[in-house]
Each structure stands twice: as C-alpha cells, then as structure tokens.
Amino acid sequence: MTARDDVAARATAGFQRVYASPPAGRWAAPGRVNLIGEHTDYNDGFVLPFALPLRTVVAAAPAAEDRWQVWSELTGETVSFGTAEVTATGSGTPGPVTGWAAYVAAVVWALREAGHRVPGARLAVASDVPLGAGLSSSAALEAAVLAALVDLGGLDLPAEQQPRLAQRAENGYVGAPTGIMDQSAVIRCHAGHALFLDCRTEQVEHIPFELEPAGLAVLVIDSQAPHRHADGEYAARRASCERAAKQLGVTALRDVPAEQLDDALARLTDDETRRRVRHVVTENQRVLDTVALLRAERVRQIGPLLTASHTSMRDDFAITVPEIDTAVEAALAAGALGARMTGGGFGGCVLALVEAAQADQVAAAVTAAYAERAFTPPTHTTAIPAAGATRLD
C-alpha cells in the first residue's frame, strides 16, 4: 500500500469509528514546498511553489443540522461547533473556536462570510504532512476541508477563487497573517509542474517541472531546527521592506527591477535596509530566471539560482540558522546541484536539487554533518511535484 492510500484509508477508518457510518466521500490536499522566491510574496513579487505527494485527507458526510463535527487523527479529539461560532466576528479578530479545529471553523466562517450556504458536516482528518515544518499543513487542512464543503453543498466556488477564501479563513479567523502562496499552491498546482504565481495579480502559470525523466530529484530536508523568534523576525523583515518601498517611492519592492537595483540602493541610507532590498529584488529576478530555464527544459541549470537564493537569505536577509546553513553546505559538498532553505526562515526545511542516483549520498552527508555538530538528526523526503486539492472518490 502506498503512503497515499494509507492516509486516505486512515481518514475513512477514523470516520467510521467516530461517526459509526461511512463517509460520503474523501477529499485530499497536499503540502507544498517553495522552489524559489522567499519573502517576495508580501512585496507583491513572484513565487514558484510545487505540491508534494504528502497529503491531508478529509473524509466527510453531510449532517442533518447546521453543525460541524471534526475529528483529527493527530489529536484523537472530536471538536463540534454550530453557527454561533462561525458567524462574522469582525475583521482581524480570531474566532471563538481555537486550537487545530480553528482551521476548520475558519473555512466554514469564510464561506458563510462570502454568502455561501454551507451544509452542516461530519469530518475526519488524517495527514502525512508534517506540522509546522514549513510544508503548509495548515493550508492543506483548509483546502481539503474547503473542497469537501464545496462539493457536499454544491457551492459555486471555482478553484481559482478558493485560495483567496482559504487565505481569508486563516487571516481573519485563525489570526495568522499569511500571504496567498500556500493556499494557491495546495489548491492550484498540477502534477509535474511548479506554480508560477504573481502575488500582485494572483495570476498563475503552470511551469513544467519534471524531475524523474531528467534523472533528477528534489530532497526536502526537515532541519529540525526550533523556530526561534520567527514571528517577530518575520514582522521586522516585512516592516523593513515596507519602509524601503516608501523611501523609494514605489508601491512595493516588486516595482524595483533588477537593472535598477544599484540606483535604488544608492538612495537608501541604512546598510541593513539596503541588504533587505537587495535580497527581495534579486530574489524576484531569480524566480523569473528559474521559470525561463524550466521553460527551456534546462532543469539542471536552476541549481546555482537555488544556491544564490540561499546565500542571499543568509547574508542579506539574515533569516537562516546554523542547522539550515549546515544542511545546505553539506548537500552542496556532497554533489547537490543547488540547495536552499525554503519557507519563511529561522528553521523549517532545506531543499536540494540532486541527481536522482546521488539522493541517498546527499541525504547521508547532511545527516553526518548534523551528527558532527550534535544537532537533532534531520529527516528527509524526496519530492515529486504533485497535484493540488482534489476529490478522491
């Protein structure tokens, strides 16, 4: 049995056990990893995520009344809420359902806020997406629940409108200030492709990103580094970028093209701000360059762009940590074509583009480098660009 069948089977078994009846259907949404384009999203820039084979599966059935019950394998809890808990609380105020079930209540809330008649439902969740590792288990949960509710209720909400609704759920009800990338990736990705997303216009393009036929693999290494001060540092980077955009007289740093970078830097007085701007402007260009190479089927050649992205995050944006830098350096030394931290920083995952035949050797080298420094041993998975949220049966 593959891991994919397994997680779906666990969702069904959980549903049967908790509700003593079979589900009406199962819906799945994947985790995601960002190939390149870090901290560009809130600067109105470009990102290039792809969906992972790791998935969250929701088994669901309609309920007779306007109540929602949800069980998750993760906690073994069943949480129940009614219309009172998912009625508009006012923008920016987290909703009354808290903890993990907030992500589910948030989706019901956002659908209702957008005027949809959401059917009551029973839900059971199982997942292979690791939590809090930067692979977007939160968006996977939102997207799988959203897909289930849209289908069960026959709601008119096309896939291209779903990311914004899921983002609204996470921002407005859970209270997490995320951008549009995670939800776009887990809903809209296609198998064998990365999703080129313009965070200003929300336009997407599916860029072929076939690894196996090229004899390549992407290793996703969970650094196991604790997220130190991630929220505060994220807010500080964001504020710095917004200040810089104001000083430069542009709406967002996306409006500074790479060829005008030197002029822009000369107009900034503070060295730290200059480094932050340099990261964002060069990173946007690296996304565009990566897309151009992938379109030309020159996949191996994106390696140096990945590594340059890492160097920029380490030296200019200052968002890496020793575990992450160790993993990148060890992967490169063991023959990776390129490697970088992925995600917001201060922990999370590293991705490495490797010759498929060398994947084990690169993973072993990272593990050995960790052992030398007495870091918590890393875990890894091999990523194959997968499809976005879908109904299973």
Task: Using CB under 5 A, list all residues that contact Mg ion.
Answer: 136, 138
Q: Which of 12, 136, 162, 184 binds ligand ADP (CB under 6 A)?
A: 136
Size of the site for ligand ADP (CB under 6 A): 16
**Judged by CB under 6 A, which of 127, 183, 184, 381 binds ligand ADP?**
127
The answer to whether residue 253 forms part of the interface with ligand ADP (CB under 6 A) is no
Nearer to Mg ion, 138 or 358 (CB): 138
- Quickly list DSSP for 98-165: -GGGHHHHHHHHHHHHTT--PPPEEEEEEE-SPTTSSS-HHHHHHHHHHHHHHHHHT----GGGHHHH
Residue 364: name the closest of 215, 218, 217, 221 by CA. 221
Cα of first residue to Cα of last residue in the chain, in angstroms, is 17
74 touches ligand ADP (CB under 6 A): yes
**Four-point Cα dihedral 219, 223, 227, 231, nearest 10:** -20
Q: Of 20-28, 44-52, 84-92, 133-141, which part binds ligand ADP (CB under 6 A)?
A: 133-141
Residue 206 tokens, joined: 């599916």
Q: How far is CA 381 from CA 16, 174, 242, 329, 349, in A?
A: 30, 29, 36, 18, 11
How far apart are CB 132 and Mg ion at their closest, in Å? Answer: 8
- The answer for residues whose C-beta is within 8 angstroms of residue 117's C-beta and 6 or more apart is 153, 155
**How is 197-210 classified by DSSP, letter by letter?**
EETTT--EEEEE--
The yes or no reply on residue 103 touching ligand ADP (CB under 6 A) is: yes
Considering the candidates 182, 222, 289, 316, report the single residue annotated as catalytic.
182
- Parallel, antiparallel or unpaired: strands 49-62 and 25-34: antiparallel
- The stretch near ligand ADP (CB under 6 A) out of 38-46, 84-92, 123-131, 234-242 is 123-131
Q: Which does 134 bind (CB under 5 to 8 A by kind): ligand ADP, Mg ion, none?
A: ligand ADP
27 touches ligand ADP by CB under 6 A: no
Does residue 3 belong to the site contacting ligand ADP (CB under 6 A)?
no
User: Least distance (Å) from Mg ion to the CB of residue 266?
Assistant: 37
Query: Looking at 43-51, 125-133, 283-291, 363-371, which segment touches ligand ADP (CB under 6 A)?
Result: 125-133
Q: Is 177 in the site for ligand ADP (CB under 6 A)?
A: no
Phi, psi for residue 197 in degrees, rounded to 5 = -115, 125
CA distances from 204 to 74, 156, 387 (A): 33, 21, 15
From the CB of 47, what's the least distance to ligand ADP, in Å? 15
CA dihedral 230, 236, 237, 242 (to 10 degrees): 150
Using rule CB under 6 A, residue 63 touches ligand ADP:
no
Distance in Å, CB of 192 to ligand ADP, minimum: 24
Q: Which residue has the tokens 């989706």?
A: 107
Q: Is 56 in the site for ligand ADP (CB under 6 A)?
A: yes
CB 147, CB 391: distance < 8 Å: yes
Check if 255 is active-site: no
Nearest approach, Cβ of 131 to Mg ion (angstroms)?
Answer: 9
Partner whose binding site includes residue 127, from ligand ADP, Mg ion, none (CB under 5 to 8 Å by kind): ligand ADP
Catalytic residue annotation: 182
- Give the residues lining the site for ligand ADP (CB under 6 A): 56, 72, 74, 100, 103, 125, 127, 131-138, 141
